[in-house]
Chain A
């Protein structure tokens, strides 16, 4: 497979906390289906104390390229369905993914904002990293030539932050996806692509079903959009309205969630 990024000499990567993460797998499938073979995968670790000693040990480990998964190991793993079981699995995509992962370069980096991860990213100096790694600190984002992409299920700057699907449903608004550059402030980076996620003719009985469906559809776009970007068909556009506190949404309180759930069930009945 000749990848668009390779043909243009632009290195791309994917980052995740787990090779079994649902949305990581959806994004990987989406990239592969669009002819983009990521040059590397960054596998971050969670739950480590932020102690310099530990960072240094990780730094030593990650100086050399580490291929940590063999094909046989991956095949023996219990695979999670990327859509959380909501839709039928795509066998062809899964096979393509397994084949790719068997020879992919996977770096185990330690914590996402740790010294080892930062140093590795700088040494790899990719053009784009499709990120599934939570909040990135300023030190990680310091290299201006590296673009960290995030998929956010809202029409930014609307519904920045948490539980954006729930808040859009609460306000009875359309659900959108934004693919944007990660910046220091949460969900305030320049926008590469925005698209409405249609939920017409889909049976979505509760919040969880909405989340699962919307996230799947959103992450599936990654390959198509990255390809457009690498082919210079689209460019980043700055967001308007930066820094307003009330554009930042937070976790929905369980009592509001229960009301939203009841409203959705009533709408479906």
Chain B
């Protein structure tokens, strides 16, 4: 508590002394606290009624991708770092460098920007160089030099699969398989991962690890990957989901496990949904839908989602930008899966909020231009005063999926 207060006061006071930082904080101060609060059915979000047209959405997407490239350029290697408004760039974050790769490959392919695809492949090559002898990948930033972590390894597999599919180079597939073999070897008999889990506690958001394992099973046909994923998925839905859709052991801390953050809730839901679709298994889809629908209702009624949700789905804390983008992605996926336009509608509104968060209206430097903060406002409890690269990654994914959903509806019409 005292440590946290000290960190907050240090961040606030330092940002007030430095012009660029002060502008970003002051901007959020105005937007979140001093601006008019909006209520009513037609409101887009409590902070702004602005809806963005398609050109503005495309510009927001391009700016976000540019920032991701900036987050790679600023590194001494080819991974992706995050920017802290007090402290500058971190070193490359291994896990998120992994899952940024498919986002950049998709954007590069759609926009016919080979330079962007090449940058994603460079990141994949770098990841192969930092793979541990066990096959796993370390937690957090590369300079932290941590041990292998299950969740982080799963996300690097996503990147390596994308690089393999893009280049057809076997080294990427081999790297992914080596990582997957390690994951299979350390799974507990009940289906969870405890050893090498973050903080050594089993967590349900490992459903987001199961999805890349199933993707790899599709490519290689190795039944072990499917069996491992299935065991974990069953452990989640049979032992960890409450009847109201909420998940036990979903936070990435021990202390606040009773109120998981939207970010990890979304990982869990997304993983279950993707796995359900890959396996064509309604049990996992239904489990994802149950939780996604509660958040859908909360969002439509309150016009925003909180940072944390307790076991009764009671929200607290400021919105976590990453989680907001992730839940929009889930709704877009559900629209694609069910055809229910209400999911698409909610995703569009969420993206309006995210575009508003990105649209700071400041003459920003490359370190922050187009970047998404951890929380809105920027001093929210999740990643305070930071622009974590994963927030921008999911924002990019959300806008890309939105575009795909528009194409689907236009074709249908």
Contacts and interface: CB of A to CB of B under 8 A. Distances in A.
B partners with A: yes
28 contacts: A162-B41, A167-B341, A171-B341, A245-B294, A245-B296, A245-B297, A246-B293, A246-B340, A249-B342, A250-B41, A250-B300, A250-B342, A251-B42, A253-B51, A253-B345, A253-B349, A253-B352, A254-B51, A255-B51, A255-B53, A255-B54, A255-B348, A256-B341, A256-B344, A256-B345, A259-B409, A259-B410, A259-B413
B346 interface: yes
Given A248-B300, A254-B51, A256-B348, 11 more contacts: A162-B41, A167-B341, A246-B342, A249-B342, A250-B41, A251-B42, A253-B345, A255-B51, A256-B341, A256-B409, A259-B413
Given A245-B296, A245-B297, A252 B410 contact: no
Interface in B249-301: 293-294, 296-297, 300
A263 interface: yes
Interface string A239-269: 0000001101111111110010001000000
Nearest to B53: A255
Contacts of B300: 248, 250
A100 interface: no
A170 interface: yes
Interface string A99-133: 00000000000000000000000000000000000
Contacts of B51: 253-255
Nearest to B348: A253
B286 to A, nearest CB: 13
A171 B412 CA distance: 11
Interface residues of A, number: 17
B333 to A, nearest CB: 15
A166 B114 CA distance: 41
Nearest to B298: A245
Interface of B: 41-42, 51, 53-54, 293-294, 296-297, 300, 340-342, 344-346, 348-349, 352, 406, 409-410, 413
A134 to B, nearest CB: 10
B57 to A, nearest CB: 9
Chain B CB within 10 Å — which of A250, A251, A263 has the most? A250
B61 to A, nearest CB: 15
B244 to A, nearest CB: 12
Contacts of B53: 255
A172 to B, nearest CB: 9
Contacts of A255: 51, 53-54, 348, 406
Nearest to A244: B293
A246 B410 CA distance: 23
A250 B345 contact: yes
Contacts of A256: 341, 344-345, 348, 409
A253 B410 CA distance: 15
A167 B344 CA distance: 13
A249 B409 CA distance: 18
> Among A245, A248, A251, A255, which residue has the most Cβ atoms of chain B within 10 A?
A255
B341 A170 contact: yes
A267 to B, nearest CB: 10
Nearest to B51: A254
Contacts of A252: 345
A250 B346 contact: yes
B41 A251 contact: yes
B214 to A, nearest CB: 27
- Of the candidates A251, A252, A253, A256, the one having the most CB atoms from chain B within 10 angstroms of its own CB is A253
Contacts of B296: 245-246
Most chain-B CB neighbours within 10 Å: which of A167, A171, A246, A249?
Answer: A246
Contacts of A170: 341
A140 to B, nearest CB: 19
B389 to A, nearest CB: 28
A186 B336 CA distance: 27
A259 B409 CA distance: 9
A20 B342 CA distance: 34
B401 to A, nearest CB: 14
Contacts of B297: 245, 248
Contacts of A259: 409-410, 413
Contacts of B344: 256
Interface in A143-172: 162, 167, 170-171
B348 to A, nearest CB: 4
Nearest to B54: A255
Closest A-B pairs by Cβ, 10 of them: A253-B348, A245-B297, A250-B300, A254-B51, A245-B293, A253-B345, A251-B42, A263-B413, A162-B41, A251-B41
A249 B342 CA distance: 7
A245 B297 CA distance: 6
A256 to B, nearest CB: 6
B41 to A, nearest CB: 6
Interface string A217-258: 000000000000000000000000000011011111111100
Contacts of A246: 293, 296, 340, 342
A34 B348 CA distance: 45
Contacts of B342: 246, 249-250
A246 B344 CA distance: 12
From B54, B346, B348, name the one whose CB has the most chain A CB atoms within 10 angstroms: B348
A142 to B, nearest CB: 22
A251 B41 CA distance: 7
A248 B341 CA distance: 12
Nearest to B297: A245
Contacts of A245: 293-294, 296-297
A253 B53 CA distance: 11
A242 to B, nearest CB: 14
